[in-house]
Amino acid sequence: MCEIPLDTEYISELAEEHRAWLSSYGSKHLANWDRLLKGNVEAACCEAAFRRLLDSFGVKVEPNELLRTDGSGPDFRCSSHGSHFYMEVTCVLRSTATQKSGILEEPTRCVPSDPFGVIDAIFSECANKASQCRDMDAPTIVAVGTFHSNAAMICVKRAYVTSVLTGKSKMAWDIDTCTGQQTGDSYQVTALEKAAFLKPDLREGVGFARCSISGVLLCGLGISRCLGVLHPNPARPFDPSLLPSIDFGSVEIDRTTCQLRVHWTGGGDD
């Protein structure tokens, strides 16, 4: 899988814009980002793309003061409407998206694919970033982006992103043991496998995980496809109205029935 070439117009313009922005905050931040750019173009430009996205929402973005050469702390400190939050940016590489899902960047032929493979990659990124979101003085969002436009077009939809909250679900139905026939309607069940914020709990049925992450922002970079999900019981809750152009999903736990219900802030199917 080839990497994004540095000389493409979009990448070159994005990199130069981000470099100019960083230069106003001193040489340390710029040197760190240039080092990342040399080692991983997609990851570096993912940071630049999310910074540009936040700018477009009127959010003031600054390099996080905790950013050090050891990579500790989230990438950005973000201010809006008198409050602030942090954002840690991570990238699902195009090669990873293809490997996990089987979705080709240019679908010139029909091949088997599994869109939930991208959701699996998103879960892995969240699991890896939880420690960097601890001990902050405000909510911290993990922003997961990809330059794999075809995978983003297919997977950054509510039908799949809901699985970030609930884990991959399966269809189930009840069987009459006497007749061997289905009784009642089929329904969905989940073992919470790869759920970003939930885990099985022997006493409560459903417990909470990775409470240091207030929410996750999922974005197909360059194609303006973006959705968010919120932690149901975070250490520091994030106010989705700070990013009013993005629909956020949240999960509600019915402790009596052990059912999960997902709600979205906006209308529409995507």
Q: What is the pLDDT of residues 129-148, one digit of tens each?
A: 998 898 899 999 999 999 99
Backbone angles phi, psi at 178, to 5 degrees: -85, -45
d(CA 132, CA 57): 24
pLDDT at position 231, please? Answer: 97
| Other CB atoms within 10 Å distance of the CB of residue 85 | 23
**What is the arithmetic mean of pLDDT over 164-181?**
74
What is the per-residue pLDDT for 3? Answer: 47
Neighbours of 92 (CB within 10 A): 27
- What's the mean per-residue pLDDT of the chain? 85
Amino acid in the structure at residue 245: S
Matching residue, tokens 């890896």:
128
**For the chain, percent of residues with pLDDT exceeding 90:** 49
Of 117, 140, 263, 113, which Cα lies nearest the Cα of 194?
A: 117
Give the pLDDT confidence of 183-218 residue by residue, as tens digits: 766 656 677 888 999 999 888 889 999 999 999 999
Q: Could you tell me the pLDDT band of residue 149, with boundaries at 50, 70 and 90?
A: confident
Those residues whose C-beta lies under 8 Å from the C-beta of residue 201, and which sit 6 or more positions away, are 207
| pLDDT at site 111 | 66
Other beta carbons within 10 angstroms of residue 113's beta carbon come to 19
CA angle at residue 143 from 138 to 145, to 5 degrees? 170
Residue 185 is encoded by which pair of tokens?
Answer: 């309607």
| 73 confidence band (pLDDT: 50, 70, 90) | confident
Q: What is the mean pLDDT of residues 216-232?
A: 90
pTM of the model: 0.87
- Per mean pLDDT, which range of 100-109, 161-170, 214-223, 245-254 is the poorest? 100-109
Q: Does 65 or 54 have the greater pLDDT score?
A: 54
Region 2-11 average pLDDT:
63
- The DSSP call for residue 120 is H
Lowest-pLDDT choice from 100-114, 153-167, 208-222: 100-114
